[in-house]
Structure 1
Amino acid sequence: MTPHLSRRHLLVGAVAVPGLLTACSRTEAGTGAPAGDADLLERLRKQGHVRVGFAGEAPYGFQDGGELAGEAPTLHREIFTALGVPELRPTLTDFGTLIPGLLAGRFDVVSAGMAITPERCGKVAFSEPEFVSPTALMVRRGNPKGLSDLESCAGKRVRVGVLTAAVETSYAKAAGVPDGSLVAVAKQQDGLDALLAGRIDAFALTGISLRWLARTNGDAAVEVLEPFVPEVEGVKQYSAGGAVFRTGAVSLRKAFDAELARITGDPARYVRLIGRYGFTEREVPPRTLRTADLCAG
């Protein structure tokens, strides 16, 4: 059985980007989603841009000096340019509204490194995996509680910070961390701040996110422990994320996957594109890892 790979996610304040198209006049009855997703790729080529939703989480998708940056937008810009769609027009929104916004037609693709999970697969269609990344803990410098993974957090009854709507909540519960020891935070910086203030003893997130957070808070007295692979009901939970499409956008998704395979099949190119965000050849998804298996659970 293929291991179930999935990932975190956060909530940020909704911000509208000037000039963004936020609605579509042609919709499917009863859904609000744009009609004619079957020819979406051709329509995007004609208009020269694709509307993407993102959730402001570095290093996956965020704004840097007013520009859309991060792992997902960088890969997606490369892919859509190859498909004849040179411009990404972004909408920053709460993580929890990314899928509803996609289904309502506010944007055409979610560009946020979203975790591929069976529950989400029941609502939307994912690309093949863009990356894999195991979980880690951020702790105060010196690791005063002697933690190593979520099981150690449960055993020592410490308080664990998790992002709202993140998969780490289920990982922590599966490891035995009680509800009363879980502290939800809205965004990454809130987790680090809570750690420094002593409101939590560990902050659980993907290792790559925590390394980025530590890097951008260079003077903070924290450290990121070695990544580990959580288990839920005996199944290892590796982290895999991808682009998200409406289920009707089949031709667009297939064309996207073909270009994505050219990038993930060339690790040097992959690192050249997104290495600046902390992604290495270790994050390249193996060819045997398929979204269909991840969706099946």
Structure 2
Amino acid sequence: MTPHLTRRHLLRGGALLGGALATPGLLTACSRTEAGTGAPGGDADLLARLRKQGHVRVGFAGEAPYGFQDGDALAGEAPTLHREVFTALGVPELKPTLTEFGALIPGLLAGRFDVVSAGMAITPERCAKVAFSEPEFVSPTALMVRAGNPRGLGDLASCAAAKARVGVLTAAVEGGYAKAAGVADGDLVSLAKQQDGLDALLAGRIDAFALTGISLRWLARTNEGKAVEVLEPFVPVVDGVKRYSPGGAVFRQGAVSLREAFDRELARITGDPARYVRLIGKYGFTENEVPPPTLRTAELCAG
């Protein structure tokens, strides 16, 4: 049997709720529901209205390398892929709203934006509230530890055996993975953002920081020279099922035509690994992160 692949969330920047970002080619986003932009209850013809107005409002959480501010530009895996997809759909402009990760789904449901562009993990719990695109990527979990790996850790099971303190992002799936591996609640430390994990490691408050390997590699890259290292990625197992951590775009459940059109264009990108890497390789994504065509959101949502 093919193992189900689920992706933790991942995004959880330190942005202020409802903040907005003005970027070249991107108009400043407003946190209020805008007339004619497809607020809840008017999603059936949302794609047609987005084409007519020429822009789509996207919510992102300020977490590299998935969706973040790079100078004055909106950058990262999700905005880059989504810009490519929406341009192909006749919607050439993204209007971004910078939002705390935990407020992304509530903001989407309240009509503050039309799509979440944040590399969010596809999980059954979230599928009950919103609709995900087909997977944009897969990324197994890894640990960041102090240089030299003084506790001799390798995965979450080894953390449990060593009674190591493990840092996880608040509301991210790594907390559940750690508990499933036997890490005690008292050894789990919740952190608000990625940089907090590295800082906690260096301060000795935690022994390991668990996140997707690609996020930790990016964090190490942006903290070059710091005495940390990223261990080899591993695949967590929860209730006997391997968890590969796929993520995707997020829509309101009524936006069926928009999501289906998005999926058709996304498949053209994920079906061409060279194009995929050309678009987002600079953010650390390789052909190894291309989701296999057999990995479907319907399966992931079923659990």
TM-score clears 0.5: yes
Compute the displacement of 1:16 (Å): 2.8
Root-mean-square deviation (CA, aligned residues, Å) is 1.4
Residue aligning to 1:169: 175
Deviation at 1:36, TM superposition (A): 1.7
Whole-angstrom distance in 1 between the partners of 2:88 and 2:98: 24
Give, in angstroms, the shift of residue 20 of structure 1.
Answer: 1.4
Q: Separation in 2 of the partners of 1:20 and 1:68?
A: 12
Find the counterpart in structure 2 of residue 295 from structure 1.
301
Q: 1:8, 1:205 within 8 Å by CA — same for their partners in 2?
A: no
What is the alpha-carbon distance in structure 2 between the residues aligned to residue 291 and residue 17 of structure 1? 30
Pairs aligned (count): 293
Q: Does 1:260 align with 2:271?
A: no
Shift of 1:13: 3.0
CA positional deviation for 1:17:
3.0
- 1:192 corresponds in structure 2 to 198
Question: CA deviation digits over 1:122-177, x for unaligned, max 9?
Answer: 00000000000000000011101000000000000010000011000000000000
1:13 counterpart letter in structure 2: A
1:25 deviates by 5.8
TM-score by length of 2: 0.94
TM superposition score normalised by structure 1: 0.96
- Which residue identity does 1:24 align to in structure 2? T
Distance 2:109 2:62 in 1: 20
Q: Distance in 1 between matches of 2:274 and 2:162?
A: 42
SS at structure 1 position matched to 2:94? strand
- Residue 158 (str. 1) matches residue 164 (str. 2): yes
The aligned amino acid for 1:65 is G
> Which sections of structure 2, spanning at least 5 residues, go unmatched?
23-27
User: Is the counterpart of residue 139 in structure 1 residue 139 in structure 2?
Assistant: no
Give the deviation of 1:34 after TM superposition: 3.1
- Structure 1 moving runs of 4+ over 2 Å: 8-13, 15-19, 21-27, 32-35
Q: Are the aligned partners of 1:26 and 1:35 in contact in 2 as well (CA < 8 Å)?
A: no
Query: Counterpart of 2:233?
Result: 227
Partner of 2:20: 16
Q: State the percentage of identical aligned residues.
A: 79
Query: How far off is 1:22 after superposition?
Result: 2.4
Opposite residue 7 of structure 2, the aligned amino acid is S
Q: Give the match's secondary structure for 2:44.
A: helix
Contact persistence 1:81–1:87 (CA under 8 A): yes
Quick one: which amino acid aligns to residue 176 of structure 2?
A: S
**Is the CA contact (8 Å cut-off) linking 1:131 and 1:284 kept in structure 2?**
yes
Counterpart position of 1:273: 279
Alpha carbons 2:180, 2:238 under 8 Å: kept: yes
CA contact (8 A) 1:13 1:93 kept: yes
Could you tell me which residue of structure 2 aligns to residue 37 of structure 1?
Answer: 43
Say whether residues 1:3 and 2:4 are aligned partners: yes
Deviation of the 1:6 alpha carbon: 1.8
Instruction: Compute the displacement of 1:35 (Å).
Output: 3.0
The one-letter amino acid of 1:279's match is: F
Distance in 1 between residues matched to 2:202 and 2:14, nearest whole Å: 21
Which amino acid is 1:76 matched to? Answer: H
Any idea what SS the aligned residue of 1:68 has? strand
1:63 to 52, 69, 94: 69
TM-fit CA distance, 1:23: 2.5
Q: Could you say what secondary structure the match of 1:147 adopts?
A: coil
CA distance in 2, matches of 1:33, 1:40: 9
Map of 1:98 onto structure 2: 104
Describe the SS at the equivalent of 1:106.
coil
2:30 and 2:97 in contact (8 A); partners too: no
Structure 1, unmatched stretches of 5+, are: none
Retained in 2: the 8 A contact 1:140–1:222? yes
